[in-house]
Amino acid sequence: MSEQITFLNKKENQEILEKLKEQFGIQKIPGILTKRNEDRLFLVTGDITENQIKELEKITFIERVGFYFAKREHNKEGKEEIRLSIEGSQILSDQITKNIFELENSEQMEQWMSGQELLIKTGKREFLVMKYKGNFLGTGKASENKISNFIPKNRRLKLRTTIK
């Protein structure tokens, strides 16, 4: 039998919120957090309740509910961090106040959205929320000389090529 959807308990929710507050200044998670394994988090918004979802699971297999929100990751020191997905960064955009990296131009934005690393020294070694002209574009991991990209291959922008 497949693993059931797990709803985060109050303590787990509080731990995630504390990490989001520390990393990005986020004050509130606008929905119910679920997980299917230990690291991928999904956010359920709307009118459906935890009990209604559990009742549905008795009838049929539910692969997941909500949308991919974030992933728990451990840094080199073993400290847990939260990496927001594109949708996670967008739904929380009005709350994000820390660790924002503003892309300077459309070339940088296209490079980012095509899945490339940005060879930029930020002076940080943590997750940064990428932003371009008021739009949040997911999260990258800053290291000494670059910002690593986590945009899935199937979501990447296909770069235009010019025909000569």
SS (H, E, C) 105-161: CHHHHHHHHCCCCECCCCCCCCEEEEEECCEEEEEEEECCCCEECCCCHHHCCCCCC
Same domain, 92 and 103: no
d(CA 16, CA 131): 22
* CATH code for position 31: 3.10.450.220
Return the pLDDT at 162. Answer: 58
- Write out the residue range of the structural domain in which residue 85 sits: 1-96
Closest CA to 66 of 36, 91, 34: 34
Q: What would the pLDDT profile of 109-146 be if each residue is shown by its tens digit?
A: 999 999 999 999 999 999 999 999 999 999 999 998 99
Dump pLDDT digits (tens) for 27-83. 999 999 999 777 999 999 988 888 998 899 899 988 888 999 999 999 888 899 999
Contact in structure between 68 and 85 (CB atoms under 8 Å): yes
Chain segment 86-118, per-residue pLDDT in tens: 999 999 999 999 999 999 999 999 999 999 999
164 has pLDDT over 70: no
Q: How far apart are CA 75 and CA 39, in angstroms?
A: 13
Nearest to 105 by CA among 131, 139, 141: 131
Q: Are residues 124 and 51 in the same domain?
A: no
Which domain-ending residue is among 71, 96, 121?
Answer: 96
Predicted confidence (pLDDT) at residue 1 exceeds the cutoff of 60: no
For the chain, how many structural domains are there in total?
2
Rg of the chain on CA atoms, in Å? 17
pTM: 0.88
